Amino acid sequence: MATPSKKRSTSSPQASKRALPRDPSSEVPSKRKNSALQLPVLQSSGPFVEGSIVRISMENFLTYDICEVSPGPHLNMIVGANGTGKSSIVCAICLGLAGKPAFMGRADKVGFFVKRGCSRGMVEIELFKASGNLVITREIDVAKNQSFWFINKKSTTQKVVEEQVAALNIQVGNLCQFLPQDKVGEFAKLSKIELLEATEKSIGPPEMHRYHCKLKNFREKEKQLETSCKEKTEYLQKMVQRNERYKQDVERFYERKRHLDLIEMLEAKRPWVEYENVRQEYEEVKLVRDRVKEEVRKLKEGQIPITRRIEEMENERHNLEAQIKEKATDIKEASQKCKQKQDVIERKDKHIEELQQALIVKQNEELDRQRRIDNTRKMIEDLQNELKTTENCENLQPQIDAIANDLRRIQDEKALCEGEIIDKRRERETLEKEKKSVDDHIVRFDSLMNQKEDKLRQRFRDTYDAVLWLRNNRDKFKQRVCEPIMLTINMKDNKNAKYIENHIPSNDLRAFVFESQEDMEVFLKEVRDNKKLRVNAVIAPKSSYADKAPSRSLNELKQYGFFSYLRELFDAPDPVMSYLCCQYHIHEVPVGTEKTRERIERVIEETRLKQIYTAEEKYVVKTSFYSNKVISSNTSLKVAQFLTVTVDLEQRRHLEEQLKEIHRKLQAVDSGLTALRETSKHLEHKDNELRQKKKELLERKTKKRQLEQKISSKLGSLKLMEQDTCNLEEEERKASTKIKEINVQKAKLVTELTNLIKICTSLHIQKVDLILQNTTVISEKNKLESDYMAASSQLRLTEVFQDLPNTLDEIDALLTEERSRASCFTGLNPTIVQEYTKREEEIEQLTEELKGKKVELDQYRENISQVKERWLNPLKELVEKINEKFSNFFSSMQCAGEVDLHTENEEDYDKYGIRIRVKFRSSTQLHELTPHHQSGGERSVSTMLYLMALQELNRCPFRVVDEINQGMDPINERRVFEMVVNTACKENTSQYFFITPKLLQNLPYSEKMTVLFVYNGPHMLEPNRWNLKAFLRRRRRITFTQPS
């Protein structure tokens, strides 16, 4: 199986030697350049747990072309070098069991897991089931970034796969069960709450996490209900308190109202009593009273027929309204039929109009045909007359031939001119490209020079200002003046700049070089005296030292590792080079390498050189004046600062000259182009004139033939138009017949429409009559109701008057008393009474709501109590078991650790969490496991031991841990490995995958372990060439033949 790497990878000799099986019975074939090889220590007889992985198959997946892995039922240790494809197997397990790609921490799209260059990939996981193994296949399409799912080779959906996986208690998104390489660090970052949730899902009963979620939801509802009850209770109390404040005022208001009502009744009865007293004596009053009682009885009896009559009127009104609705429905149907008939009549009218319009069109077409026939005959006559007058054009051919010859000559001249123009343009384009190239070179030179000048300006501002002044005033000097030496020196190799800068002092590197003493005095007077700039200036020797030969040939010194003299390391103007040779003897100072430094004593003794440079040091050799002994000193070379940028000024001057030459050539080319364009323009004008003459002659020559053709064409057109006749009388007769038929149909429709309109009108009249009857009935009913209300009112008044005093004195006394009482009730506001009544209604409504909320709250509390008992007790027992295992593991490592159920408030079920506390040194206290307090190795050990504590309690079918031992020291790694082997290889434990790139030597192994070696390289065998038995026989022969 092909991979990006071309290295070969094998397992460590110790691991491979101890993992060799006595009776190998299985092998894991692969294709091309990758393989995963299964080497069980002994053939396992232990059963697989329900949901354990029996087989993993991959095709075009990450590093694999084709690979199949068959893990064992207990501990599976996957070993291989980094990059061979161990984590690819972990990714295959996750994605094959409907895990999310982002959980792996590698990519967020499933298409990225397909091998590069392939369009499709496949992962297949076979899970153990007692009723028959479950084979889940996931095919990945890279282009669509889409997956296709199969269960036992039958197409299905991802949701069904997720349900099947969940039914086996497989949770690839739970870090307590599935811990990939990129998520190892995140385990320690899990909060206590998240760790509890992961542990519940991993090892708890299926209902434990469900109960926890119910508790959190119930608690949230309980909080909401408590808040709601509290708010409503407070609001209700405020409303009651407010009504209590106004209750006395309301009672006084109603008390006053009762007094006022009584006063009103007394005042109403007093005139009646006065009238009765004046009119007759007591006996008469008694008779009247009897008569009134009789009238009351009669009124009561008289109300019964009125009530019955009102009910009859109401029934009659309902009947009339029903009849009105029926008539309205009939009217609507009749109106719709009328509209349909009107639509049909309108369509008939439109048809008649179309027939008339078609007849008019045909009449117009006939008139137009006659007009075109007349016009064509006239045109034929005109053309025949013109043909008679046309001259004989046979003598025009010589003139046409002469013009054609002139045109060919002009065309040849134009082609030649155009060719020259194209050549000139090409030449100009070439010159433009050369000019751009030269400009770019000059810009690059200027950029390098600007870098050197920037360094000068930043370090020696006065010297930089003096350079600017010199460039603007070179005409004041008689001889050559060189800018500071650091600007004029150009290193042939930048790495040698350190030798020059260590040899020439900084003051001279920034010194101006003059050939004339007079020029130097002018410069210093202007710059130092007038401008107050601190600058250095030197004079070059009158006789040049630039080409002076060294005292010893370089070939003689090469045996000591010298490769050049200082002078040959750079270029500079002649005055600068002459000054440096004279002053600093750069032509006599050699530069060596590490070889020179290694034999420096011999070099000093044999060469007697005064100054020497090695790769990183400078040696100065002196002879003692008194003892004649050779004394040497060495210093380390400083890093170059100024001369690392190289600018060839001579080449730049050459480029400027080249640019001037290009400009001159461009001007010449432009002049030639202008002349050629003028010539081309003149030829074009002449060509147009000749073409126009030729055209006129050809038109004259072909005019007769054209006229004959036109006449023939017109005669043909005339014949066709005369044949295309139309019988207008017949068309008019047909149209009249059709219109008559339509009019007959239309008359029939109008008759039907008239009948419908009459029916509709009759229905409207009936409806109006019914409405009038209904109005009359309603009016009579209203009148009866008014009479009934009046009689009832009189009856009530009579009954009320019977309860009041019957004498004026008694009435006056009671009136005075009631008025006095009513006058005592002052400062009362009717608005207060209205608000009080409204609040009373709200209080009653709130009381009912509060009662319902409290009943609901009690139900939730009862539910919480029941669910809490089912959840918390098993959880405490589970955490206690985890703590026991976890503490034992830490104790065996001479460390301490504990796990407990942590919460701040027993009622806040969403704040419950599992707290892990550890200590690795006896001098410290237990500290909570966090991403910051413990080291990376300590976090890895804690994580691994917690997962091991879950192993024996686990109800999940398998667990995956990827490269968790990378941060551990050898001691902890060995201890943890022993615990993993002992725990994962017990009977009735779930399957365990332990992935690692390396192993310590002499580790303990169990016969129930399965070791999977992952090899990677360009020379892997093809799958059909794998023969594990042959490999093992060869290995045994090698072992047996080795001397003891």
Q: Which of 335-349, 745-759, 795-809, 867-881 has the lowest mean pLDDT?
A: 795-809
- pLDDT for the residue numbered 520: 92
Which of 618 and 889 is assigned the larger pLDDT? 618
pLDDT of 33 strictly over 60: no
Distance from C-alpha of 169 to C-alpha of 176, rounded to nearest angstrom: 13
Q: What would the pLDDT profile of 245-262 be if each residue is shown by its tens digit?
A: 777 667 777 777 777 777
Q: Which of 264-268, 404-408, 675-679, 744-748 has the lowest mean pLDDT?
A: 264-268
CA distances from 593 to 563, 597, 789 (A): 8, 7, 134
Residue 443 has, within 13 A of its CA and on its CB side, a CA count of 6
Please give the average per-residue pLDDT across 269-297, as a whole number.
67
Contact at 8 Å (CB) between 970 and 53?
A: no
Distance from C-alpha of 988 to C-alpha of 998, rounded to nearest angstrom: 28
DSSP string covering 243-289: HHHHHHHHHHHHHHHHHHHHHHHHHHHHHHHHHHHHHS-HHHHHHHH
- pLDDT for the residue numbered 357: 85
- pLDDT for the residue numbered 642: 78
Q: What would the pLDDT profile of 423-460 be if each residue is shown by its tens digit?
A: 888 888 888 888 888 777 766 666 656 667 777 888 88
Contact at 8 Å (CB) between 225 and 860?
A: yes
Query: Six-digit token pair at 957?
Result: 């079918």
pLDDT of 391 strictly over 60: no
Distance from C-alpha of 921 to C-alpha of 916, rounded to nearest angstrom: 16
pLDDT band at 4 (very low <50, low <70, confident <90, very high): very low
In one-letter notation, the amino acid at residue 548 is K
Distance from C-alpha of 973 to C-alpha of 441, rounded to nearest angstrom: 63
Please give the average per-residue pLDDT across 295-313, as a whole number.
72
Angle subtended at Cα 558 by Cα 557 and Cα 561, rounded to the nearest 5 degrees:
105
Q: Considering the chain, what is the average pLDDT of its residues?
A: 77
Beta bridge partners of 958: 991
- pLDDT for the residue numbered 88: 86
- pLDDT for the residue numbered 661: 85
- pLDDT for the residue numbered 42: 30
Of 115, 108, 309, 187, which is closest to residue 788 (Cα–Cα)? 309
- pLDDT for the residue numbered 222: 72
pLDDT band at 506 (very low <50, low <70, confident <90, very high): confident
Distance from C-alpha of 256 to C-alpha of 248, rounded to nearest angstrom: 12
Q: What would the pLDDT profile of 870-915 be if each residue is shown by its tens digit?
A: 777 787 777 877 777 777 777 777 788 888 877 777 777 777 888 8
Distance from C-alpha of 413 to C-alpha of 676, rounded to nearest angstrom: 11
Please give the average per-residue pLDDT across 343-359, as a whole number.
83
Cβ-based neighbours of 210, under 8 Å, separated by 6 or more: none
Contact at 8 Å (CB) between 112 and 91?
A: no
Distance from C-alpha of 786 to C-alpha of 367, rounded to nearest angstrom: 86
Query: Six-digit token pair at 157?
Result: 């959906």
pLDDT band at 1037 (very low <50, low <70, confident <90, very high): confident
Q: Which of 217-221, 371-375, 700-704 has the lowest mean pLDDT?
A: 700-704
- pLDDT for the residue numbered 20: 30
Q: What would the pLDDT profile of 47-86 be if each residue is shown by its tens digit?
A: 788 888 999 999 888 888 888 888 988 888 888 877 788 8
pLDDT of 591 strictly over 90: yes
Query: Six-digit token pair at 729?
Result: 């009388």
- pLDDT for the residue numbered 822: 62
Query: Quick count: other Cβ atoms within 10 Å of Cβ 478?
Result: 10
Which of 811 and 541 is assigned the larger pLDDT? 541
Please give the average per-residue pLDDT across 917-928, as a whole number.
76
Query: Six-digit token pair at 85?
Result: 């494809």
Q: What would the pLDDT profile of 356-383 be if each residue is shown by its tens digit?
A: 888 888 888 878 888 888 888 888 887 7
Crossing angle (nearest 10°) for helices 206-279 and 830-892: 170
Beta strands 154-156 and 146-151: pairing type?
Answer: antiparallel
Distance from C-alpha of 298 to C-alpha of 257, rounded to nearest angstrom: 33
- pLDDT for the residue numbered 957: 84
Place of tokens 């002076």: 548
- pLDDT for the residue numbered 40: 33
- pLDDT for the residue numbered 910: 75
Contact at 8 Å (CB) between 1009 and 980?
A: no
Question: Which percentage of the chain shows pLDDT scores above 90?
Answer: 6
Q: What would the pLDDT profile of 703-719 be if each residue is shown by its tens digit?
A: 767 777 777 887 887 77
